[in-house]
A and B are shown apart, each in its own frame.
Chain A
Amino acid sequence: MDYFLELFFGGLTRGSIYALIALGYTMVYGIIELINFAHGEIYMIGAFTALIVAGVCSLLGLNLISILILAIIISMFYSAAYGYTVEKIAYKPLRNAPRLSPLISAIGMSIFLQNYVLLAQTSDFVPFPSLIPEFEFMEPVAHIMGSSELVIIVVTAIAMVILSLFIKFTKIGKAMRATAQDRKMALLCGVNVDRVISVTFIIGSALAALGGVLIASHIGQINFYIGFIAGIKAFTAAVLGGIGSIPGAVLGGLVLGWTESFATGYVSSDYEDVFAFCLLVIILIFRPAGILGRTNTQKV
């Protein structure tokens, strides 16, 4: 039973991170129907920013909690700036181009950012300090769930609650939903759609950076390539849950995290990805629009 719980919480942790990244994919897709392949790189940049912040802060002699909080806040802002800029440079000029063009542009942006970090940093894995402190009260259950796992799950849950309140109740959240449902009509209602798109990129990027900092601190090493793999997984999660749907992204992330965790635990870690992608294929056969996705029947 303990082993099962360990795998359960391991999967939950992993799934939370996938969900955080998947939210960025799904929100951008919901609004401009673009698969933002550079999103994984934003997450990677978030992790690197946190590494630099942590280095500077520990030289200044701050304690662990304040380093963690500072690292999260600064890397969220920094990644948000990246996300905003990527959209302005790579997607906005292609707003009215055929759908394939921004997709290619996204892949190009992804390759560019990867290599930019490769040149600016290093190609090796670099150790990432464990920023999340070990809590004493977690001692008795440490064999099931570590402190960092607890922190990841709690922080992710808080971020998601804030996001859904934001989208449900604020003026700009309403503007985002309106834009997702009918961009032209939103424009006619006076919504500045360009600004809504910018805000979507900013929020998605900040969430990805949050995921990046948390997971890097949990795993303990990063390199320029982590964004690609995490991006593919999070994209899978978004499709699994129904791309364009926010609860879908969260559900998809968790399902994927659990599948991987249990496959690793009960079968073999070699088969982790096999199980994950088999699941994706099976779900897409029976529900082509994803678990919570709706098949689009409108359009005149």
Chain B
Amino acid sequence: MAEAILEVRELCKDFGGLRALDHVDLEIYPEQIVALIGPNGAGKTTFFNCVTGIYEPTEGDIFVLDRKGKKRRINGYKPNKVTELGLARTFQNIRLFPNMTVLENVMIGRHTRTKSWIFGALFRDRRTKEEEKETIEVSYEILKKMRLEKFVNELASNLPYGAQRRLEIARALASEPSLLLLDEPAAGMNPQETKELEGLIEQIRDQEKIAILLIEHDMKLVMNISDVVYVMEYGRLLAKGTPQEIKEDERVIKAYLGEDHDA
């Protein structure tokens, strides 16, 4: 098998005396869909925050394959550097730029993929103009894929909920990531929307040829689309396996499904 896009070894994160992540191991290979599940407070979002550079891990290593295929240790990298390397994420609670249009939101996502900066903005040379044109075209393409093209010039805050969720994914895709991290993408969606999202995630994997790591509470979604499922509890990794294995794992049923049927 190819080299892992993301490889996490013995990752620990302490908040004061609380160990939120306790020696977590995880790896993701190209074009895989990996799910991270577990009861609330298990440390799933903390894990995302460590990987994307919002928190600095206390111990352990995070390795990412950069765009040239070189393995890099990214502990302590700033979020904008991590994005540049090819990781993009969405949030549990939607975090769009509410007062910008849908198109502008996606264009911001392309920030690391364009070069021009203040001098280009001041003197408007040919390269800057071409780059701007290309940014708009690519952003528009992404919006089309996410079926958002009819909202292009709408303010992001005016979009219906499901569309806002899709826009967050579109913005993340704009940075051309090799790994997309989705934090509860189906939260607050009705079964119909969840079904559509399922198709969309698979479509992203197939068309963009990227790996996807998702945190999700909707078990149907997780079991349907994941190649590998990791289960966390109290900051520790409880189990890892295919959806079928996880469904039959006694510990998981006891710790997770058994306690929290309607999660």
Task: Report which A residues bind B (CB closer than 8 A).
Answer: 166, 170-175, 177-178, 181-182, 184-193, 195, 199, 298, 300
Complex interface bits, B93-137 against A, C-beta within 8 A gives 1, otherwise 0:
101111110001001110110101110110000000000100100
Which 4 A-B residue pairings sit nearest by Cβ, starting from the closest? A190-B112, A190-B83, A170-B121, A187-B79
Contact across chains for B95 and A185 when beta carbons are under 8 A apart: yes
Task: Give A178 to B118 CA distance when docked, in angstroms.
Answer: 16
B78 interface residue (CB < 8 Å to A)? yes
Known: A187-B78, A199-B118. Is A175-B97 also a contact (CB below 8 A)? no
B residues 32-89 in Cβ contact with A at 8 Å: 52, 54, 78-80, 83-84, 88-89
B13 interface residue (CB < 8 Å to A)? no
Contact across chains for B100 and A190 when beta carbons are under 8 A apart: no
Task: Give A174 to B116 CA distance when docked, in angstroms.
Answer: 13
Contact across chains for B78 and A191 when beta carbons are under 8 A apart: no
Contact across chains for B83 and A174 when beta carbons are under 8 A apart: no
List chain B residues, Cβ under 8 A from A186. 97, 108
Task: Give A175 to B114 CA distance when docked, in angstroms.
Answer: 12
Closest chain A residue, CB of each to CB of B116: A171
30 A-B pairs within 8 Å (CB atoms) are namely A170-B121, A171-B111, A171-B117, A171-B121, A171-B132, A172-B121, A173-B121, A174-B100, A174-B108, A175-B108, A177-B104, A178-B97, A178-B100, A181-B97, A182-B95, A182-B97, A185-B95, A185-B96, A185-B97, A186-B108, A188-B54, A188-B88, A189-B80, A189-B108, A189-B111, A190-B83, A190-B175, A199-B118, A298-B98, A300-B93
B171 interface residue (CB < 8 Å to A)? yes
List chain A residues, Cβ under 8 A from B108. 174-175, 178, 186, 189, 191
Known: A187-B80, A188-B89, A190-B84. Is A171-B97 also a contact (CB below 8 A)? no
List chain B residues, Cβ under 8 A from A199. 118
Closest chain A residue, CB of each to CB of B131: A171
Contact across chains for B114 and A189 when beta carbons are under 8 A apart: no
Task: Give A171 to B112 CA distance when docked, in angstroms.
Answer: 11
Complex interface bits, B146-178 against A, C-beta within 8 A gives 1, otherwise 0:
000000000000000000000000010001000
Contact across chains for B99 and A177 when beta carbons are under 8 A apart: yes
Task: Give A184 to B80 CA distance when docked, in angstroms.
Answer: 10
> Given B54, B88, B120, which contacts A184 in the complex, CB threshold below 8 Å?
B54
List chain A residues, Cβ under 8 A from B97. 177-178, 181-182, 185-186
Closest chain B residue, CB of each to CB of A188: B79
List chain B residues, Cβ under 8 A from A181. 97-100
Task: Give A195 to B108 CA distance when docked, in angstroms.
Answer: 15
Task: Report which B residues bind A (CB closer than 8 A).
Answer: 52, 54, 78-80, 83-84, 88-89, 91, 93, 95-100, 104, 107-109, 111-112, 114, 116-118, 120-121, 132, 135, 171, 175
User: A-B contact count, CB below 8 Å?
Assistant: 76
List chain A residues, Cβ under 8 A from B132. 171
Contact across chains for B111 and A190 when beta carbons are under 8 A apart: yes
Known: A171-B121, A175-B108. Is A192-B100 also a contact (CB below 8 A)? no
Task: Give A170 to B136 CA distance when docked, in angstroms.
Answer: 12
List chain B residues, Cβ under 8 A from A166. 121
Task: Give A172 to B121 CA distance when docked, in angstroms.
Answer: 7
Contact across chains for A172 and B100 when beta carbons are under 8 A apart: no
Closest chain B residue, CB of each to CB of A169: B132
Contact across chains for A174 and B54 when beta carbons are under 8 A apart: no
CB distance from A192 to the nearest CB of B (A): 5
CB distance from A27 to the nearest CB of B (A): 15
CB distance from A95 to the nearest CB of B (A): 12
> Given A171, A182, A188, A193, which contacts B52 in the complex, CB threshold below 8 Å?
A188
List chain A residues, Cβ under 8 A from B99. 177, 181
CB distance from B201 to the nearest CB of A (A): 20
Task: Give A298 to B94 CA distance when docked, in angstroms.
Answer: 12
List chain A residues, Cβ under 8 A from B120. 171
Task: Give A172 to B107 CA distance when docked, in angstroms.
Answer: 11
Task: Give A154 to B257 CA distance when docked, in angstroms.
Answer: 70
CB distance from A107 to the nearest CB of B (A): 29
List chain A residues, Cβ under 8 A from B121. 166, 170-173
> Given A184, A188, A195, which contacts B83 in the complex, CB threshold below 8 Å?
A188
CB distance from B143 to the nearest CB of A (A): 16
List chain A residues, Cβ under 8 A from B135. 171
> Given A182, A187, A189, A298, which contacts B175 in the complex, CB threshold below 8 Å?
A189
CB distance from A286 to the nearest CB of B (A): 24
Contact across chains for A192 and B80 when beta carbons are under 8 A apart: yes
Interface centre among B79, B99, B104 (most CB of A within 10 A): B79
Contact across chains for B117 and A172 when beta carbons are under 8 A apart: yes
List chain A residues, Cβ under 8 A from B171. 189
Task: Give A192 to B80 CA distance when docked, in angstroms.
Answer: 6
Task: Give A175 to B97 CA distance when docked, in angstroms.
Answer: 11
Task: Give A220 to B16 CA distance when docked, in angstroms.
Answer: 60
List chain B residues, Cβ under 8 A from A184. 54, 79
Contact across chains for A174 and B104 when beta carbons are under 8 A apart: yes
Task: Give A188 to B88 CA distance when docked, in angstroms.
Answer: 7
List chain A residues, Cβ under 8 A from B112. 189-190
